[in-house]
Structure 1
């Protein structure tokens, strides 16, 4: 079993519902949506959303990890609850549709330092709960293609994109072929228009679990931050 610390809006948030229907699965309930329930979709939608569908709608704060031998799930959940109660909710000024390489995600309109600081605190606070990566897991990250700083993060924190390398993103697709990217951008722009160009409250911390490697990630616990609306 693996655990992850993610941000996702509350289960009843309109963005959560919209994203779940776009991806085809709700990480809170485990519900799988039929094509009819998901609305008009491109023909290759299922293939292009397969990867983010498994992980559920989220932004990674601390990437999936197995528990260290000295701790239990109960320990993790207790510390997560304490952390959330002491962390103050805050707002990203603007959420926009972004393209990161070959995939699309909802991202901040500009670097927001409170968000960077929050993500770093999550990474460092929960590091004692993470079992060391196996050689296989390190190899999966293709360290030869990472920068020196990213390789150092991978070995120290179990994930390349933390601290100064962290970029908040809520993934909406897997790799989209170059010839499909323009169409996909237009589809997503329309689909998520009600949530882009607007603020996003970072209102909670979610503990996700993966029961076994390759299984869908689901929300084990969603914890409101202090002062969340």
Structure 2
């Protein structure tokens, strides 16, 4: 694991689940197996419209990617300790929705329990985060942030945490309206079996970013609180 440059805590479905398999094929990257997946033939140019989210794998962000201010083993131990005291969070039914021009999987209703869990993860693991570089700050600010989002960026290294947190699993790049319509219709058919059952946050998944910018699922730490 010495070759990974950033680490993140993500939600990810169990690697052998229907959702994990469907999502990996849709994106073209299996983060658990650390290998590309052939896209299904669905009448969309999935290779093109999933280029940005592909490198991250199927995930929902809980603690955004960060450089570490400590040894990797220390961070992994901290995640294990955190997971021991956290209870499983029911997320209910996940649904497909456009989100700021992207197609995403989101909770039908985002619960306070999920908000609280995400805030706990951000807070507990922040001491292990290296400060943002000026280049990282510039990159984040270039997309346009509200004053509150900028304050969150400076405090926590990411603008979309705490009250700005919206759980989502990104499935595409930003799409034009016509392509979004086609992608949404196709995704409904492809993901319907995978989203039939309620989902839960039952583990903290440690992902690492390799030198090529691809994220790998390094460890899945069950919540045991």
TM-score (norm 1): 0.92
CA–CA distance in structure 1, aligned partners of residues 117 and 143 of structure 2:
29
State the SS of the aligned residue for 1:183. Answer: helix
Q: Give deviations 1:148-169, integer Å, cap 9, x for gaps.
A: 1111111110000000000000
The runs of 4+ residues in structure 1 deviating greater than 3 Å are 195-198
8 Å contact kept, 1:132–1:158: yes
5+ residue gaps in structure 2? none
RMSD: 1.5
Please state whether the residue corresponding to 1:126 is helix, strand or coil. Answer: helix
The 5 A counterparts of 1:64-79 are: 64-68=65-69, 71-79=70-78
Q: Residues of 2 paired with 1:126 and 1:59: CA distance?
A: 17
SS of structure 1 residue aligned to 2:61: strand
Q: Which runs of 5+ in 1 are unaligned?
A: none
| TM-score normalised by the chain length of structure 2 | 0.93
Give 3-state SS (helix, strand or coil) of 2:47's partner: helix
- Bigger drift between 136-145 and 108-117 goes to 136-145
The superposition leaves residues 53-99 of structure 1 with CA deviations (integer Å, 9 ceiling, x where unpaired) of 1011100111111111xx11000111111111221112112211111
- Given that 2:83 and 2:203 are in contact with CA atoms closer than 8 Å, whether structure 1 keeps it comes out as yes
Superposition deviation, residue 207 in structure 1: 0.7
CA displacement, residues 165-203 of structure 1 (integer Å, 9 cap, x when unaligned): 000001111111222111111011111112336411111
Question: 2:24 maps to which residue?
Answer: 20
- The answer to whether residue 224 in structure 2 is matched with residue 220 in structure 1 is no
What's 1:8 paired with? 12
> Aligned to 2:55, what secondary structure does the other structure show?
helix
Between the aligned partners of 2:24 and 2:199, the Cα distance in structure 1 is 17
**What is the alpha-carbon distance in structure 2 between the residues aligned to residue 81 and residue 222 of structure 1?**
10
For 2:194 and 2:209, the matched residues in 1 are separated by 28
